[in-house]
Amino acid sequence: MTQPTPGPSTHDPLALTQMLVRMDTIPPAGVESQCIDPLSDLLSAAGFNCRHVEFAPGRKTLVARIGGRKDKAPLCFTGHVDVVPLGSAAWTHDPFGAQVVDGRLYGRGSSDMKSGVAAFTSAALDMADLAREGAGLTLIITAGEETGCDGAFHLARSPGAKEWVGSAGAMVVAEPTSNAPVLGHKGALWLKASARGKTAHGSMPHLGENAIYTLARAALALESHDFGVQPHPEMGMPTLVVSTVQGGININSVPDAAEMTLDIRSVAGLGHAGVLKCLCDRLGERISFSTLLDIEAVYTPGSDPWMQRVQALVDAAGDRPASSGIVSYFTDAAALRPLMGMPPTVILGPGEPGQAHQTDEYCLVGKIPQAKALYIDLIRDWCAPSA
């Protein structure tokens, strides 16, 4: 696919959103480098130091940095440019056409979350001079978020990443919130639980050990599992669901293996290592676990001074929602916050949360320049010279 040539029009967040949406970045064929390379060119031309981290051919994450002071860590913006498949239903609008119809920009990734990436990139370009002389900016634009934050975790595990990515004083995740500041999201711990038995002929079950019975007892025990925590003020209680079960090879044999998958949604303060230990202790040695996905909860209380400052800037801008709370999806912040010193983090982006992964996905056009203006306010507030 021919990449658009970066030019002055791409500094407009709407035009930049359209450029990104027109690129098919549905993995594995639609690689993220189509978006990363032109964004890197724009940022490099504005003075950002850009570094690419590839976890598979064409599957790049971009780290772009500018400025910084010894007494204050940079402000970080992050977002992803991979998108999910189109689904089986027919689209009314070209999913890669980026058409604007009746105030809506249609296309896969328009809300989730190329509009957010475009808005903060455009804001960073406009504010590059201030950031260079001030506290600085770090942009992390990732690949592979939709499949479990693959690009962000790969970046976090890269040799020396803590040194060359650097710390952040605060983080903005531009996922879709309709420009309302959100305090965080639940964590996701997906596990495979396996039971082993001994096979035997179905007519002689006493000679075998039925793995399905062992697994079934474990599943029933989990139905009433108590995490031993009080409800979180924003996230409520953690949850556990037995999602799939399978076992056995044929009808006339005692099954010697069975497995189930668990979808656990954790709350802030409930570490996944402790959750897994608790499950192991409860179910015993006959059940073994393997981890399929491990994304910790992200949460910054509204009482945090920077979060209060974000809310004040949103309120001052007017005509924007002033809600907080949490979102149901997870984000790259779960991988990036530990790498960058656990900064306070707000989820704040122009996309419509209900449009994520939908057929005929769209973003409201007016939300995109609104997001850019808000990001500029955040950058100016963060990077202003010290009194």
Prior bond of 28 cis (ω within 30°): yes
Helices (H), the chain: 13-21, 33-45, 115-126, 128-133, 150-157, 161-165, 211-222, 272-283, 305-317, 333-339, 367-383
Residue indicated by tokens 């409201």: 364
The DSSP bridge pattern shows strands 100-101 and 59-66 to be unpaired
Catalytic residue among 32, 112, 145, 146: 146
Asked if 282 contacts 252 with a C-beta cutoff of 8 angstroms, the reply is no
What is the identity of the amino acid at 232?
H
145 counts as catalytic: no
146 counts as catalytic: yes
Backbone angles phi, psi at 4, to 5 degrees: -60, 145
Cα distance between residue 352 and residue 175, in whole Å: 9
Cα distance between residue 89 and residue 302, in whole Å: 40
**Nearest CA-CA partner of 259 in 198, 211, 291, 222:** 211
Active-site residue set: 82, 146
